[in-house]
Structure 1
C-alpha cells in the first residue's frame, strides 16, 4: 500500500506537539517509525486528525510481543491482509480493531 511518510519535524508541525512528546509517543508505542532514506519516518496513515490512531498502540504491542521488528510491524500494517480483505491500517481506521488484533495475535 503506497503511503506518505512523515519525518519527526513533519510530526511536530502536524500535531503541534514538541519533539520530546513525539519521541515519547514512539517510545510508548502510540506510533512506530522506521528509518527510510536515512531518516526516521512514520507512515501518515498512522495518524488521524493530527493524532496517533487510538487503535494502533495495542496492535503494535501485540505484534512486537510476537517478535515483530518495527519494520515488520509497519510492513504488516500497510500491506493488504487476505484474512481481513484490506491492509490492517485501513481496517483500524475503519474501526475494525478487534478483527485486526485477532489476526495479529494469530501471527504473533
Structure 2
C-alpha cells in the first residue's frame, strides 16, 4: 500500500500530512471499498476531495480501525451543520487549550473533551 500526499494537502496549512485513497483505506481496514463508502455516508469516516479524488486523512485510520471516537464527533459536527470540508477544518484547526488539534486529541485521553466541544457547536 502506498500513502499518498497530494500537493494540495500540505501539513503546513494545518491539514493532514498524509492522505489515503478509498482503496488504500479499504486495504488498511481489510474491508471492501463499498464498505468504506458506506462508512463515509454514515459519517463514521471523513473523506474530502483532493485533486479530484476522495481521500481520507491517514491518521484517522490506525491499526485496522477508524479512531474510536471519530464517528461520534463527525455526527456531532454534521448535526451542528458542518459539511465534510468544514468538519475537516475543525478537526485540524490548532487549539492551544487541548493542546494541539482535535484530530490529535481523539487518539489520546482528550477525546471526551473533543466531543464536548463538537457538541457545543450546535448551540
Common fold by TM > 0.5: yes
Q: RMSD of the alignment, in Å?
A: 1.3
Q: Tell me the CA shift for residue 107 of structure 1.
A: 2.4
**TM-score, scaled relative to structure 2:** 0.81
Question: Which structure ranks higher in relative contact order (CA pairs < 8 Å, sequence separation ≥ 6)?
Answer: 1
What TM-score do you get using the length of structure 1 for normalisation? 0.91
Q: Is the 8 A contact 2:25 2:61 kept in 1?
A: no
Match of 2:103 in 1: 89
Matched with 1:23 is 37
Q: Which one has a larger percent helix, Structure 1 or Structure 2?
A: 1
Matches within 5 A, 1:67-86: 67-86=81-100
Structure 1 portions without partners, runs of 5+: none
Listed as ranges, the gaps of 5+ residues in structure 2 are: 1-13
- Shifted more, 73-82 versus 62-71: the winner is 73-82
2-structure distance, mates of 1:28, 1:107:
20
